[in-house]
């Protein structure tokens, strides 16, 4: 993530402030505590806090103004596709609104990418799509590797569209899908439950069936959204070890 290797303390401070911004603790239009206060709160130097503010400014979350301080920017100005901002919004359990927005975006982008891949993908590009599906088929569906393979397939299809603008969505989609997939699989973990839908997309792409690829992807997304909603319910249920309030 941005800044984590070169400025670990600055990134750590940026993450803590960023999470408080996206969760509403620091609301749009509010002024952040000054550098001295933040440095004391996070036990870092003023320089680290200043670097953290620069990172957050680059992500569209804050704006530093002379004689006014650092102001939280309106939500519509945030860099929503920034991987860090996505992760901070996800938190431990994404809310239903985030899941709805995610699937609306996916319905706009991914089925059309699959349709273009059916027209354009060939050679090594098509082989990459097939390798990702094979990787999915040969991993434990409850493992992190299975989710990584699933994300790789979606990224390969975006790249297979042959459209650089669609392919540019891959990092943001990968970040959000990694969390979404883990939630979906709380509701429907067996590999047999979701592999056939992915295979149907790949088969349509391989035979050059544009409409078939689009339809297969829309079918997958309908089931995936249902699984994600059910997965959220599972995660919000108190565990048996937790006392009932």
Which domains, and CATH codes, for the chain? 8-76 (1.10.10.10), 92-236 (1.20.120.530)
Which of 37-46, 56-65, 181-190, 192-201 is least confident?
181-190
In which element (H, E) is residue 64 found?
A: strand 62-65
Task: Give the phi and the psi of residue 79 in degrees, each rounded to 5.
Answer: -80, 85
pLDDT at 90 > cutoff 80: no
Q: What is the pTM of this model?
A: 0.76
Distances from the Cα of 145 to the Cαs of 42, 43, 158, 170, 223, in angstroms? 34, 36, 20, 18, 21
Following DSSP, what letter does each residue of 117-176 receive, concatenated? HHHH--HHHHHHHHHHHHHHHTS-TTSHHHHHHHHHHHHHHHHHT--HHHHTTHHHHHHH
When the pLDDT of each residue in the chain is averaged and rounded to a whole number, the result is: 86
Higher local confidence (pLDDT), 123 or 178:
123
């Amino acid at each position: 993530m941005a800044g984590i290797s070169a400025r670990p303390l600055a990134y750590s401070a940026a993450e803590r402030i960023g999470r408080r911004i996206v969760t509403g603790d620091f609301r749009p239009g509010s002024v952040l505590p000054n550098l001295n206060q933040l440095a004391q709160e996070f036990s870092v130097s003023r320089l680290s806090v200043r670097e953290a503010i620069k990172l957050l400014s680059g992500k569209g979350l804050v704006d530093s103004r002379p004689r006014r301080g650092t102001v939280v920017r309106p939500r519509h100005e945030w860099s929503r596709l920034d991987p860090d901002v996505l992760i901070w919004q996800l938190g431990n359990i994404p809310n239903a609104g985030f899941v709805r927005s995610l699937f609306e975006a996916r319905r706009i982008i991914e089925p059309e990418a699959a349709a273009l891949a059916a027209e354009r993908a060939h050679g090594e590009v098509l082989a990459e799509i097939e390798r990702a599906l094979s990787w999915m088929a040969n991993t434990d569906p409850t493992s992190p590797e299975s989710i990584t393979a699933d994300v790789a397939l979606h990224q390969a299809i975006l790249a297979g569209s042959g459209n650089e603008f669609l392919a540019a969505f891959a990092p943001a989609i990968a970040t959000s899908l990694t969390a979404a997939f883990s939630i979906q699989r709380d509701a429907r973990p067996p590999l047999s439950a979701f592999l056939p839908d992915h295979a149907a997309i790949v088969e349509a792409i391989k035979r050059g069936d544009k409409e078939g690829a689009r339809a297969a992807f829309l079918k997958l997304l309908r089931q995936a959204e249902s699984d994600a909603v059910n997965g959220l319910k599972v995660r919000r249920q108190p565990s048996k070890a937790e006392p009932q309030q």
